[in-house]
Amino acid sequence: MPEPASEAELRAEILRLVREYARLRHAGFALPAAGDPEEFTPGVSPVPYAGRVFDADEVEAGVASLLDFWLTLGPEGEAFERELAAMLGVRNSILVNSGSSANLVAFSALTSPKLGNRRLKPGDEVITVAAGFPTTVAPIVQNGCVPVFIDNDPITLNARVEQLDDAYVPGKTRAVIMAHTLGNPFDVTAVTDFCRRHDLWLIEDNCDALGSTYDGTLTGTFGDLSTQSFYPPHHITMGEGGAVNVVRNAGLKLLVESFRDWGRDCWCPSGKDNTCNKRFGWQLGELPEGYDHKYIYTHLGYNLKPTDVQAAIGRKQLQKFPAFAAARRRNWHTLRTLLDPLSEWLDFQLPTHATAWTQAGFTWDSSGHRSDPSWFGFMIRVNPGSPVSRKDLAVALDEAKIGNRMLFGGNLVRQPVFAQARKTGAFPMRIVGDLAGADAIMNETLFVGTYPGLREAACEFIAATIANLYRCPSDAIQPR
């Protein structure tokens, strides 16, 4: 009789079969390569605005992690955190279970009593931007602070930074949190100068902008903390997942981990004890001396960790990220070129500091600063002179099976939760100016996809569908 297979041989055979299965079952999710046949039927094949891009590598990594059966965050998570931090050039990256949790944990960490006079306290004001995703703003309210909304520019989609000084109140304003919208870096120079001048915390919501650069430096590296999302529409995915990046101040790492891990004081990683060599040698709070450090809680925290299986998948995604980012930029420029004949009626997003788009590239303002977005999506603004409304455009795209989205929550102060709070006083907020730009974004814009799985034929179909809606001859939209 043949010798029974060893554990290593069984594992290798399982993973060989997993790769073979993945190549058959999931072939359509791989990153398109030059020369690959395009199987696309206009009006029949769906064109999602975003989606997972993966191949047998991710499936094998997930199954291999399950075979090890380390279900909580463990060695794969530790490796992912090191690799993400190294890619960004930050001190630390701490994994959480979503981008929304990343914002919550990052903001909560700045409320720690360990920060002394710099801690954020209930009633402190925090400047943010009116149009965006609600969980950029929610942690401000959830921690008892006061959101102060400034307006968005409807072309960059980012903050009107000239309103920062109007929003500032000495002794009350303590922090800024805002996103790089659809991957477009906000005016980093203006925001960081403002924060430095007034000694304010800065949290960069980098969830839509992994790989974007400002003056050649990656976003997510300018603030005190920054956040990432690894939900499937984002630049890389683990299914669910996110991260908080500690940019410079290593002391913030323990605070972020505490709020992520139940609020505990102990910094031992999962499955390890007595990292501090004083497990039974602490006396904190009103606890007896020697109380187990693993069960001492300095903060009111959460349990927001992902699993090691997710981290294993994410590590493979990180390896492919440069190609993903290149594809997003390529798809954005393809769509911009194809839709240029409709510029009479439609406006398109510009990178911060850009003044115009041309076939040769962008023209720039006199500031000397440059931004290079790793685009999350392609924004289309139906300008007021258009014979077609934003709703008409959205319906036409939907009927053609072309995925499209509004800019998340639009003007957030118009959302039911904030409108109700303004009426009832359920929680305080402050609004700077009339938010006309945020209203324009809410009423006039949508975006379609740039994600790496988008092929040229799909981009051409998006453009042709929009052109047809404007009764523009279909041959006015030419492939590159």
Task: Report the catalytic residues.
Answer: 234
**Residue 113 token pair:** 């009593």
If we measure between CA atoms, which residue out of 356, 379, 376 comes closest to residue 441? Answer: 379
Report the alpha-carbon distance of residue 211 to residue 228 in Å, rounded. 11
- Give the 3-state secondary structure of 238-274: CCCCEEEEECCCCHHHHHHHHHHECCECCCCCCCCCC
**Residue 108 token pair:** 């909560």
**What residue spans of 48-177 are helical by DSSP H?**
56-68, 75-88, 99-109, 134-142, 164-167
Residue type, 151: D
**Residues 97, 77: contact at Cβ < 8 Å?**
no
| Matching residue, tokens 């956040």 | 227
Q: What is the largest CA-CA distance in the chain?
A: 83
Helix (H, G, I), strand (E, B) or coil at 101: helix
Calculate the dihedral angle through the C-alpha atoms of 307, 309, 312, 314, rounding to the nearest 10 degrees: -70
- Torsions phi, psi for 170 (to 5 deg): -55, 135
If we measure between CA atoms, which residue out of 439, 336, 440 comes closest to residue 378? Answer: 336
DSSP 8-state secondary structure symbol assigned to residue 90: -
Cα separations in angstroms, 348 against 131, 333, 445? 17, 11, 9
Question: CB-based contacts of 447: which residues, under 8 Å, 6+ apart?
Answer: 49, 182, 377, 378, 379, 380, 404, 405, 407
Beta bridge partners of residue 246, listed in sequence order: 92, 225
Beta bridge partners of residue 126, listed in sequence order: 147, 175
**Residue 412 token pair:** 């957030």
**What residue spans of 293-425 are helical by DSSP H?**
308-339, 390-399, 416-424
Residue type, 434: D
**Residues 263, 300: contact at Cβ < 8 Å?**
yes
DSSP 8-state secondary structure symbol assigned to residue 459: H
If we measure between CA atoms, which residue out of 133, 178, 171, 213 comes closest to residue 415? Answer: 133
- Torsions phi, psi for 336 (to 5 deg): -65, -40
| Matching residue, tokens 């980098």 | 206
